[in-house]
Amino acid sequence: MVLLSPSVCALKTLLKICESYAGIHGLRYNADKTELLIFKAGTKTYNIVPPIELGGVQLKLVTQFKYLGHWVTASQNHDLDLEGERRALSVRSNMLIRRFAKCTTSVKLTLFRAYCQSFYTCSLWVNYTKKAFSALRVLYNNSFRMLMGLPRYCSASGMFAEARTDDFHSIMRKRVATLMRRVRGSANSLLRTIAEANDSPIIGHWAKSHASFANFDK
């Protein structure tokens, strides 16, 4: 589980509630596996952090942790997520290239769609560098070329159009559109607040990214 709090005082209150609940139900939190992360607000940093305890044990302060397969960082940068996805894609694509090089085109396309187009949590990527994003895109294109036995410098848009499969930017647009639709259609009060806030950073990023990818593809 994750607790989100705007202040240290509020976080201590939430932890006391958790401890109380655990005591009533005969449970015990593992403080050694519990971590504390402070999000940076712009350029503001906090050099002195009051001790935060759970069950009498001071929590370890970290700058990043992995939650449900998504890297959460103090700087709210997603380069780590992109790098992890790039490495995973490299492993999967190399496996397909080695084992299925002699298969038919239709089989290769089916395998590629199943193993190389997931990009888990990509719709949550908001703050990243062009270098990290381009590295993932280039690997995706090269993986398809090698699997299909195409020339190294053939047109990326052309080869995906001919194969009738999504290119990298199409996948990003679809993932963003799907999450936007789910957030806007949710009955959850917190998600509704995000969906109805036109000045929300993530909503603005989704809209901007969708338009940027569309313009790039032109």
Q: What is the pLDDT of residues 81-134, one digit of tens each?
A: 999 999 999 999 999 999 999 999 999 999 999 999 989 888 888 889 999 999
Mean of the per-residue pLDDT values of the chain: 88
C-alpha 55: how far from its chain's center?
Answer: 32
Annotate 2-13 with DSSP letters as a single string. Answer: ----SSHHHHHH
Q: Give per-residue pLDDT as tens, 49-77.
A: 888 999 889 999 999 999 888 889 988 88
Do residues 195 and 186 touch, judged by C-beta distance below 8 A? yes
CB atoms near residue 82 (< 10 Å): 23
Return the amino acid letter for 155.
Answer: S
Question: Which of 60-64, 67-71, 139-143, 203-207 comes out lowest in average pLDDT?
Answer: 203-207
Counting beta carbons within 10 angstroms of the beta carbon of residue 80, is it exposed (0 to 12), middle (13 to 18) or buried (19 or more)?
Answer: middle
The conformation of residue 44, written as its DSSP 8-state character, comes to B
Predicted confidence band at 212 (pLDDT cuts at 50, 70, 90)? low
pLDDT > 90 in the chain, percent: 56
